[in-house]
């Protein structure tokens, strides 16, 4: 199993190793952080810039050497959430933010998905022709983007939009492709916010009234892996929240 980025991988790994017996390899740009998570869950960390296609290809080849088989599950959680107005107060466009956001959020997801699928296609299928699955991470922002989130919403909207056509294409190879669109979660991105901002955000969640936890995300990811008929779908995981304009 290949895990691309963020602290959510820790919950995923801890959730799975006892129940599904998954071997996992973490791909992360931050080597020290990835190694710390790998030590926590008993896996292997490999440094990678998942926004660089050539690096992803080479890294996956390296990562596969640590697994007993080519990865049959690939999950992509890389993401940044830089906020910027389309036209700033001084009249300057935010094209640089838009480009970086799409590179980290969208291109990295596409890179991991395509290079994982290319390797999965070489595997012997199970009895029902299944080779297994790819799980990408969108966001509720693709439907409820805040003011200043045009780049982030566009990147996550593209991930959601490509889910169905990608699943239809890969169906002939027995590969499922789904996406999770998380709401407001306790991630490193959120941990950087002042407490008053987090408290205000939490009050917008109808039930349960708390930020989503990595374990809850990991649980849904595990359920997707276990449900063969769930394919080509983007699932909101958000406590029924609908984000306000700002």
Whether 10 is in a domain gets the answer yes
Whether 72 is in a domain gets the answer yes
Whether 75 is in a domain gets the answer yes
Q: Which domain holds residue 147?
A: 2-237
Domain count of the chain?
Answer: 1
Cα distances (angstroms) measured from residue 125 to each of 12, 76, 132, 165? 24, 22, 8, 22
What is the full per-residue pLDDT of the chain (246 aa) written as tens digits? 445 443 333 333 334 444 556 677 888 888 888 888 888 878 888 888 888 999 889 888 877 666 656 678 888 888 888 888 888 888 888 899 999 999 999 999 999 999 999 988 888 887 777 777 888 999 999 999 888 899 999 999 999 999 999 999 999 999 999 999 999 888 776 776 677 767 777 888 999 988 999 889 988 988 898 888 999 999 999 999 988 777
> Which of the following is catalytic: 77, 142, 152, 217?
152
Whether 169 is in a domain gets the answer yes
Whether 116 is in a domain gets the answer yes
Q: What's the CATH code of the domain at 204? A: 3.40.50.720
Whether 244 is in a domain gets the answer no
Cα distances (angstroms) measured from residue 178 to each of 132, 141, 151, 225, 229? 11, 17, 22, 9, 11
Whether 154 is in a domain gets the answer yes
Whether 25 is in a domain gets the answer yes
The values of phi and psi at residue 202, to 5°, are: -60, -35
CB 80 within 8 A of CB 141: no
Known catalytic membership, residue 142: no
């Amino acid at each position: 199993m290949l895990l691309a980025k963020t602290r959510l991988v820790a919950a995923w790994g801890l959730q799975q190793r006892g129940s599904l017996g998954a071997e996992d390899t973490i791909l992360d740009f931050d080597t020290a952080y990835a190694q710390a998570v790998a030590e926590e869950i008993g896996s292997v960390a490999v440094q990678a810039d998942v926004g660089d296609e050539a690096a992803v290809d080479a890294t996956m080849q390296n990562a596969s050497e640590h697994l007993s088989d080519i990865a049959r599950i690939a999950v992509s959680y890389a993401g940044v959430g830089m906020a910027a107005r389309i036209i700033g107060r001084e009249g300057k466009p935010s094209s640089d933010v838009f480009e970086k956001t799409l590179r980290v959020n969208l291109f990295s997801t596409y890179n991991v998905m395509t290079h994982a699928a290319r390797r999965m296609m070489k595997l012997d299928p199970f009895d029902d022709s299944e080779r297994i699955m790819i799980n990408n991470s969108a966001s509720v922002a693709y439907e409820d983007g805040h003011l200043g989130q045009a780049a982030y919403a566009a990147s996550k909207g593209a991930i959601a939009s490509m889910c169905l056509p990608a699943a239809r294409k890969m169906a002939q190879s027995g590969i499922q492709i789904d996406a999770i669109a998380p709401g407001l979660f306790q991630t490193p991105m959120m941990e950087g916010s002042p407490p008053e901002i987090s408290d205000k955000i939490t009050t917008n969640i109808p039930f349960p009234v708390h930020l989503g936890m990595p374990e809850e995300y990991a649980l849904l990811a595990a359920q997707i892996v276990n449900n063969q008929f769930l394919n080509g779908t983007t699932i909101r995981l958000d406590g029924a929240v609908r984000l306000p304009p700002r």
